[in-house]
Amino acid sequence: MENETPNLETLKIINSQAIESLNAISQTDSLEEWRIKYLGRKGIITQLLKSIPQIAPSERRTFGAKVNQIKNNLNAIFVERKNSTKNLSASSKTNTNQIDITLPGWPFPKGSLHITTQMIKEISDTFQSLGFQSTEGPEVEFDHYNFGMLNIPQNHPARDMWNSIWIEGTDTQKYESMLLRTHTSPMQVRIMENTKPPIRIIVPGKCYRYEATDATHEWHFYQIEGLAIDKGITFADLKGTLYEFAQKIFGEGRQIRFRCDFFPFVEPGVDMSISNFKNSSGHRPIKGRNEDWIEILGAGMVHPNVLRAVGYDPDIYTGFAFGMGVERIAMLKYGIDDIRLFYSNNLNFLTQF
Ligand code: DAH
């Protein structure tokens, strides 16, 4: 063909060869090779077009028209073929990536309540079932409420019981000194100032102490305060209430024990322990603790000075109060041996609860 002048017969052959080889192509890469061979700038069809001037003038017109017709036709079937291959490979791709609905899905990481929050909720529910309401109060507190109104005046030695974090820069001429509350007891006073008896209320909340941390001490922790004021409340009510609490949180059959303790805002003041005796198989109910009795909270009958300070007549009203550390209760209940685990954001620890 290169040496001879092409004629209409040559065109026919080239045309059918081109179509045949295009139909035989199975891979995308080969399509491009085909295009270059036939329709490229140096391709067969282009050469045929270039050869038109050599054609005998009488045949030139027909020949030229035929070449152009073949070129357009080949071009059209090439484009069509190319598009269909593209679609085919796209759809074969989606086929292999199709979602297999029988496979298990990715696990969705689910958050949960912090152990302290859960414990507060559990304790609150227990007291709620005994008729107690629940409220909260400020973490930055006046000296007046944290100590003064609780029968702990300035320079009283009992202040040493609470290592306090004072707020610097309090203008003591204008305001009283402020601190991060060392316990939730100031809420006893705030509640009594604003409420007429009868009162049955608990106050969960965060407290702070100026203390070095170790396995049993944190400088920030939660307490739950309790207060019940009414006519004729006695120590028997305190005992009955806290006994119920111990049964609900630590299990039926738990014994409780009271011992004298000193807190300036109660008289008498006590600490309460729960029993931890070995069972018949020699195991103690509280994991990791080897004592028969474990102290869990402080309590007492509200001191007459405290009642008087809020304007209650101690000859008419009496009441009891108690305070417990939330993390401490959780540690005993779940056998946690280091209080620092609570706030070190270790998910391995936290997700157990
Ligand atoms: N506020 C005390 C403390 O932080 C705990 C306490 C003891 C609270 C006796 C009370 C109570 O209400 O009656 O150590």
Q: Whose CA is nearest to atom 4 of ligand 1?
A: 183
Report the catalytic residues.
162, 183, 209, 223, 266, 321
Nearest to 44 by CA among 33, 60, 55: 33
Please tell me the CATH code under which domain 115-350 is placed: 3.30.930.10
Most confident region among 1-15, 108-122, 234-248 by mean pLDDT: 234-248
Q: Specify which residues 202 forms β-bridges with.
A: 134, 226
In the reported structure, the alpha carbon of residue 324 is separated from the centroid of ligand 1 by a whole-number distance in angstroms of 7
pLDDT digits 0-9 by tens, 171-180: 666 667 899 9
Structural tokens at position 249: 């949180």
Q: How high is the mean pLDDT of the chain?
A: 91
pLDDT digits 0-9 by tens, 105-124: 888 888 899 999 999 999 99
Q: Whose CA is nearest to atom 8 of ligand 1?
A: 323
CA-based end-to-end distance of the chain? 86
**HSE, side-chain direction, 13 A CA sphere, residue 227:** 29
Residues having CB within 6 Å of any atom of ligand 1: 183, 185, 225, 263, 266, 269, 298-300, 321-323
pLDDT digits 0-9 by tens, 184-210: 999 999 999 999 999 999 999 999 999
Number of Cβ atoms within 10 Å of the Cβ of 240: 12
* CB-based contact 211:217 (threshold 8 Å): yes
Res. 91 pLDDT band, cuts 50 70 90 = low
The pTM of the whole model exceeds 0.95: no
* Rounded Cα–Cα distance for residues 138 and 217 (Å): 22
Going from N- to C-terminal start, the domains of the chain cover 8-95, 115-350
Q: What is the pLDDT of residue 1?
A: 46
Res. 5 pLDDT band, cuts 50 70 90 = confident
Could you tell me if residue 161 is left (phi over 0), alpha (psi between -120 and 50 degrees) or otherwise beta?
alpha
Element (H, E) at 208: strand 199-208
Q: What is the pLDDT of residue 10?
A: 87
Which of 265, 267, 301 most suits a substitution to test ligand 1, by most atoms within 8 Å of the C-beta?
265
Helix (H/G/I), strand (E/B), else coil: 165: strand
